[in-house]
Chain A
Amino acid sequence: MAEYIYLVPLFPLIGFLINGLLLGRLPRAAVNFIACASVGLSFIVAVMLFFDLRALPEGQRVLEQVLFTWIPSGALQVNIGFLLDPLSAVMILVVTGVGFLIHIYSTGYMSHDPGFGRYFTYLNLFTFSMLVLVLADSFPFMFVGWEGVGLCSYLLIGFWFEKKSASDAGKKAFIVNRIGDAGFLLGMFIIFWQVGSLQFTEVMAAAPAVFAAGGALVTTVCILLFVGATGKSAQIPLYVWLPDAMEGPTPVSALIHAATMVTAGVYMLARSSVLYTMAPDALAVVAIIGAATALFAATIGTAQNDIKRVLAYSTVSQLGYMFLACGVAAFTAGIFHLMTHAFFKALLFLAAGSVIHGMSDIQDMRQMGGLKKYMPITFITMLLATLAIAGIPGFSGFFSKDEILWKSFSSSHGHILLWIIGFITAGLTAFYMFRLIYMTFYGKERMSDEVKHHLHESPRSMTLPLVVLAVLSVIGGWVGIPHVFGVTNHFEHWLAPVIAGPHQEAASHALAAAGSSAATEFLLMGLTVVLVLFSIFGAYMLYKKRPELSTSLAQKFSGLQALLVNKYYVDEIYGALVVRPIVTGSVFLWKIVDVLFIDGLINGFAAIYADISQVARRVQTGRIRSYATVFVLGVVAMVGYFLYW
């Protein structure tokens, strides 16, 4: 069954090639069909692979397929090879499954856009790159997919490139990602230097022997890889590109924020979990950055008025949760949250897209309101996603978030402070999400009459993915119901062979202290739920019951309000500290070093030769007799030389 792993990335690649090479020559229906079918087929293959993998005994669930050697260079052998294990199986299911729904949705969303061919070409390439990323069997091949999603995000964020802000956002995403990529590359170099291989299986098997646990080297590697992850997965300090990424079409935001791209960093950390568990210091850094990002982005999210911006900051915040989980060595919880987040965040973005579509491209929530009765399907599905992200018991987000919070408290790498930050963030999440719901779907209808006239529920191609994702958002968490409810955590069990971590130790620990620990877990869970309900009530009071209260509150704390609306001025600070010096330095290099020195040197030499030539060319008199004289004298001299010397 390992023989057909390559089909998973192959189908989107074929779709990309057909749509890309025949760009502008295919009718809309054909483009739509090819794009959706390619991802759909690869989803089917992914499902088949998943069941094949499940049928294998637990210890043997690692399938490798090497197609050919890509870079044979001495000790460095890089294969075009795929690695299917429980971790990558989960990832390809999420990527192809959610990606497929987003493709279908896009056929409706982009139905009025003339650039549909280019759009679906990029979208297929994006899916292909992400599948390469998660299926790669070595760091360098993973890096190919890593760069591929970076490229596609640039292309898709800047899809409407005639708009200055969109092309700027695309460039920003690309440049910020490059900074992270440098860290990833350096980490890879150290691994190759120390281990002599970049195959995941070999590196992970050799790591305990090669690296000293907790040593400086392995910590450096982990930090460097994490720098790469902060770029791709939008963590402090490199998160700034993600909120701007909403300049692209909304389904692209859904794809970037949910199924692909930003999850790459979390996946990479989980993939390298063996290394990370050996470097507690690096784990602490990951946890602190993750928790800080979660809280930081959530506070910004409470003050934004653009519906997509709220969701963008929510993504940054939720990614912070995932890194918090990885940072306390609960990689399973991180991947679990990645999966549930993929469901509900894709749904939130697609529903927001549906709202924007219905609102004639207005994104400002202050101009919305009362959409509930115009867009019932969008409203219900979005509400379900909101309940999921807020962590209402029973919904998918509750289980994954609770698992992260519990692990950040109970894990041997955890800390009570990390839990408190996660706890506060959970409250903020519920608050800003319900603020969004109340501002958009309830209250006075604040839009203009013209917009209201066009207001309509979205077509079937858009609502159908919403419904499917809504179902997944509700039940998606049920695969990972924690032990404390007296059932097996299937998800954790499934990932256990791949993820290094203190499970065995934790499991025995949990058994020993089952009584008190279960009580604590229920207590913390209850606290979180109470806080979430309280936050929802707060949002209800401020934005539904008495909207004037929120404005007066905003006036009272106008300083704080301005700080949050302006996103803590981070963009401005980066502009002053990083961008401006680089631009100034570049102008110096250009005007002084390049134009003055380098050009001056070359042009100076040219001028010297020109001056010499001015003198030398006088030899060419144009008189035949003078030439003949020189010629004869030369012959005489030569003859004389040969005869008498």
Chain B
Amino acid sequence: MPVSAFLVLAGVLFAIGAVGVLISRNIIVLFMCVELMLNSANLALIAFSRALHVVDGHAFVFLVLTVAAAEVAVGLAMVITIFRNRETINIDRISILKW
């Protein structure tokens, strides 16, 4: 398969993720959309790595996965704390950090 096919798929997934971040009100969904974006980037990296016959892309993907895991851990901890305090995970209601 040509590398362009992987890239198109990665682009589509990234766009879905980005739109999801913009329109979702549920913080969990928002997180999942962010993960989708990250993984679309991973897909692109793998595709380039295979096409160019170098291993750098694979190494980079592992790095991204690690960071994503850490980010989700922290993010979910925050979500739990917010939910305990405010009993909502609607991000439109969590907007006191302003002005």
User: Residues of A with Cβ closer than 8 Å to B?
Assistant: 617-618, 620-625, 628-629, 632
Contacts and interface: CB of A to CB of B under 8 A. Distances in A.
A629 B22 CA distance: 6
Q: Tell me which of A620, A621, A623, A632 has the highest count of chain B C-beta atoms within 10 A of its own C-beta.
A: A623
Given A624-B94, A625-B91, 12 more contacts: A618-B99, A620-B98, A622-B95, A623-B92, A623-B95, A624-B91, A624-B95, A625-B23, A625-B25, A628-B22, A632-B18, A632-B22
5 contacts: A621-B98, A622-B96, A623-B98, A624-B30, A628-B22
Contacts of B97: 622
A624 B21 CA distance: 9
Nearest to B23: A625
Nearest to A620: B98
Contacts of A620: 98-99
Contacts of B95: 621-624
Interface string B22-57: 110100001000000000000000000000000000
Contacts of A624: 30, 91, 94-95
Contacts of A632: 18, 21-22
A281 to B, nearest CB: 76
A632 to B, nearest CB: 6
Interface of B: 18, 21-23, 25, 30, 91-92, 94-99
Given A628-B21, A629-B22, A623 B91 contact: yes
Nearest to B21: A628
Contacts of B96: 622
Contacts of A628: 21-22
Given A632-B18, A632-B22, A625 B92 contact: yes
A478 to B, nearest CB: 93
Contacts of B23: 625
A360 to B, nearest CB: 74
A621 B92 CA distance: 10
Nearest to B30: A624
Contacts of B21: 625, 628, 632
A202 B15 CA distance: 89
Nearest to B96: A622
Contacts of A629: 22
Contacts of B99: 617-618, 620, 622
B14 to A, nearest CB: 11
Contacts of A621: 95, 98
Contacts of A625: 21-23, 25, 91-92
B17 to A, nearest CB: 11
A629 B20 CA distance: 11
B97 to A, nearest CB: 5
B6 to A, nearest CB: 19
A623 B94 CA distance: 7
Nearest to B24: A625
Contacts of A618: 99
Nearest to B33: A628
A621 B99 CA distance: 7
A508 B78 CA distance: 109
B25 to A, nearest CB: 8
Contacts of B18: 632
Nearest to B98: A622
